[in-house]
């Protein structure tokens, strides 16, 4: 356990222990227990349709039985590719109930990116929504037959709500085509497609629950400075710890009404919101993606008490011309991360609504929070203090020795929320950890400092990474995709300032000689939109004759980054 004499213990919430002992059960048990305790309680609300906790269990068990009948066994990896919707929660728990492993995938990914999420985890089954099914089928068809999917289960958004829904719970008009379209089942190159109602039909036997705290539960992928995204091996126990700790930190009870709009394919939405809410038996009001006026209506109508977000969402909602129509008085807890909350906006929340915005910090490798501000004593533009059961330090990146308060170094963390390692990447795992005082510390790659009270602040990054509205963009991954463009000889990805997103993606490109004058910056952007997730797409493209190189021939990306930062 963390040392008991750390500076941040002086600001620790008095109602909470410094560490906790999470349940020694599987994540599935949280849903099953909440359903038994609260048989009539709304578990989910999606465009006006309410699903109770027992109904959630029944659907998840039927899908788990289907997965078992399709050959999914203990430890098998199943791809889950959806925007927020009830089916994502059903499918997530169904995979766990089938004793298998969830591989969450960002639905903005394109076929070229999706191939890796099929082949690297050796997935044979995928579950998705109709709007991304064709892209998965396209990726699957480009793979060798031995690596293709055997089954694809496809749901439509309208499987979960009434398309005629009106009033405060109605979808935004701009979403109606996207949400209401029922896409045809794609033909698979070697496997079979299943419609959602077909997959849940029948009276198939549910397999025995065989998994426990130490079994692999989720394999979320994170990119890095080099190569393709890496799978982070999270057993049930690491997610369980942070789900329970998040509930305790935010005073969660079964009376909570949670607005879930941060994506559940991301570790924060999955653990700190979905799993934490299910553990507490809270009511989850679901949004598939962000829309400020829908959020305002839902908070008002359903008396939302808890909202985890990224700061740009709050800024957007406060800027709505219809903001005065919304009643936010039910909100008791608001916070998030991914980017710093501007001081003026935080102050407005405090002055107008009595809400203290609670910022936190975490990585895919740490099952979301490794740090969070104490709800009663938050600091602005601050990562917070080490989370429950977490030992966090600032060390010299070279010697790995602890640094005193105020000095910049690498943030490292140890605790039950830290993942087991990278899937099939023992070298990457070994280089990301070190031992100290009998504990195993994970190197975050983020540079920061800790003040005299024990609050952590991020100052820089050891790793190349762009943070665009909370989405992490790894330049090496974008560069690797861009090199497939026939006109591109070289490309270097850097960040550029953006008034709304904080940072945005910029590509500095050298064109092949025979393509110069024939390809425009707009052509490059359009190609990128077809081949990568939209948040990775360069918003800015600059053509140059050559990229700066070191004596060894490496592209000097930092020189380009510094030149961009120096612009007025």
Q: How many domains does the chain have?
A: 1
- Name which of 477, 485, 475, 470 is nearest 530 in CA terms: 485
What is the extent of the structural domain holding 546? 466-565
Q: Is residue 482 part of a domain?
A: yes
Q: Is residue 171 part of a domain?
A: no
| Whole-structure pTM value | 0.89
Task: Determine the Cα–Cα distance for residues 200 and 203; give it in Å rounded to an integer.
Answer: 9
What is the mean pLDDT of each successive set of 10 residues along the chain, which is 568 residues long?
Answer: 71 95 97 98 97 98 98 98 98 98 96 97 98 98 97 98 95 94 96 98 96 98 80 98 96 97 96 98 97 97 96 89 95 87 86 92 95 92 95 96 95 98 96 95 94 91 77 85 89 88 90 91 95 94 88 77 87
What is the pLDDT, as a whole number, of residue 555?
81
Task: Tell me the helix, strand and coil percentages in the chain, rounded to 5.
Answer: 35, 25, 40
Q: Contact 331/299 with Cβ under 8 angstroms?
A: yes
- What residue has token string 């989720």? 218
What is the pLDDT, as a whole number, of residue 414?
98
- CA 294 to the chain's CA centroid: 21
Q: What is the pLDDT of residues 58-78, one digit of tens each?
A: 999 999 999 999 999 999 999
What is the pLDDT, as a whole number, of residue 343?
82
Task: Determine the Cα–Cα distance for residues 67 and 65; give it in Å rounded to an integer.
Answer: 5
Q: Is residue 281 part of a domain?
A: no
Q: Is residue 215 part of a domain?
A: no
What is the pLDDT, as a whole number, of residue 225?
63
Q: What is the pLDDT of residues 85-144, one digit of tens each?
A: 999 999 999 999 999 999 999 999 999 999 999 999 999 999 999 999 999 999 999 999
Q: Is residue 523 part of a domain?
A: yes
Q: Supply the CATH number for residue 527's domain.
A: 3.30.300.30
Q: Is residue 553 part of a domain?
A: yes
Q: Which residues contact 475 (CB under 8 A, 6 or more apart)?
A: 464, 465, 466, 492, 493, 494, 557
What is the pLDDT, as a whole number, of residue 114?
97
Phi, psi of 92 (to 5 degrees): -55, -50
Token pair in block for residue 127 = 């579950």
Per-residue buried b or exposed e for 19-57, using 16+ beta carbons within 10 Å of the residue's own CB: beebbebbbbbbbbbbbeebeebbbbbbbbeebbbbbbb
- Name which of 477, 104, 425 is nearest 274 in CA terms: 104
What is the pLDDT, as a whole number, of residue 552?
59
Q: Is residue 561 part of a domain?
A: yes
Count H helices, E strands: the chain? 17, 28
Q: Contact 504/540 with Cβ under 8 angstroms?
A: yes
Q: Is residue 498 part of a domain?
A: yes
Angle between helix 292-302 and helix 311-318 axes, rounded to 10 deg? 90
Task: Determine the Cα–Cα distance for residues 471 and 280; give it in Å rounded to an integer.
Answer: 27
């Amino acid at each position: 356990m963390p040392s008991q004499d750390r500076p941040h213990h002086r600001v620790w919430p008095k109602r909470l222990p410094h560490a906790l002992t999470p349940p020694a059960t599987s994540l599935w048990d949280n849903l099953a227990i909440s359903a038994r305790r609260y048989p009539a309680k709304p578990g989910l609300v999606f465009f006006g349709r309410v699903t109770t906790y027992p109904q959630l269990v029944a659907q998840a068990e039927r899908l788990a039985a289907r997965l078992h009948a399709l050959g999914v066994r203990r430890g098998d990896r199943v791809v889950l590719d959806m925007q927020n919707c009830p089916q994502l929660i059903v499918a997530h728990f169904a995979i766990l109930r089938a004793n298998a492993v969830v591989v969450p995938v960002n639905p903005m990914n394109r076929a070229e990116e999706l191939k890796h999420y099929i082949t690297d985890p050796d997935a044979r089954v995928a579950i998705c929504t109709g709007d991304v099914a064709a892209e998965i089928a396209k990726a699957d068809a480009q793979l060798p037959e031995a690596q293709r999917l055997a089954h694809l289960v496809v749901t439509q958004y309208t499987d979960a709500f009434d398309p005629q829904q009106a009033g405060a719970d109605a979808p935004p008009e701009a979403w109606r085509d996207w949400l209401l379209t029922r896409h045809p089942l794609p033909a698979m190159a070697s496997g079979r497609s299943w419609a959602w109602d077909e997959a849940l039909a029948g009276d198939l036997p549910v397999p025995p629950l065989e998994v426990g705290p130490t079994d692999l539960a989720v394999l979320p992928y994170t990119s890095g400075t080099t190569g393709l995204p890496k799978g982070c091996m999270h057993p049930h126990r690491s997610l369980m710890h942070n789900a329970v700790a998040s509930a305790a930190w935010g005073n969660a009870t079964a009376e909570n009404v949670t607005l879930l709009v941060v994506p559940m394919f991301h570790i924060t939405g999955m653990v700190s919101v979905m799993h934490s809410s299910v553990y507490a038996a809270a009511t989850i009001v679901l949004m598939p993606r962000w829309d400020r006026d829908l959020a305002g209506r839902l908070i008002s109508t359903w008396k939302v008490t808890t909202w985890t977000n990224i700061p740009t969402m709050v800024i957007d909602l406060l800027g709505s011309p219809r903001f005065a129509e919304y009643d936010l008085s039910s909100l008791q807890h608001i916070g998030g991360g991914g980017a710093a909350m501007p001081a003026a906006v935080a102050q407005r929340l405090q002055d107008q609504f009595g809400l203290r915005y609670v910022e936190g910090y975490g990585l895919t490798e740490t099952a979301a929070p490794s740090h969070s501000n104490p709800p009663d004593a938050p600091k602005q533009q601050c990562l917070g203090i080490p989370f429950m059961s977490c030992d966090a330090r600032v060390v010299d990146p070279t010697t790995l020795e602890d640094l005193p308060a105020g000095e910049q170094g690498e943030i490292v963390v140890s605790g039950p929320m830290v993942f087991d390692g990278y899937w099939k990447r023992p070298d990457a795992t070994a280089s990301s950890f070190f031992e100290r005082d009998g504990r195993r510390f994970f190197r975050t790659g983020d540079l920061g400092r800790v003040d005299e009270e024990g609050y952590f602040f991020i100052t820089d990054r050891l790793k190349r990474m762009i943070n665009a509205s909370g989405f992490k963009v790894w330049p090496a991954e974008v560069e690797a995709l861009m090199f497939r463009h026939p006109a591109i000889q070289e490309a270097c990805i850097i960040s550029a300032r953006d008034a709304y997103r904080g940072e945005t993606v910029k590509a500095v490109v050298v064109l092949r000689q025979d393509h110069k004058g024939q390809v425009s910056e707009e052509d490059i952007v359009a190609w990128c939109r077809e081949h990568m997730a939209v948040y990775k797409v360069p918003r800015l493209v600059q053509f140059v004759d050559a990229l700066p190189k070191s004596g060894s021939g490496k592209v000097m990306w930092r020189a380009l980054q510094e030149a961009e930062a120096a612009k007025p």
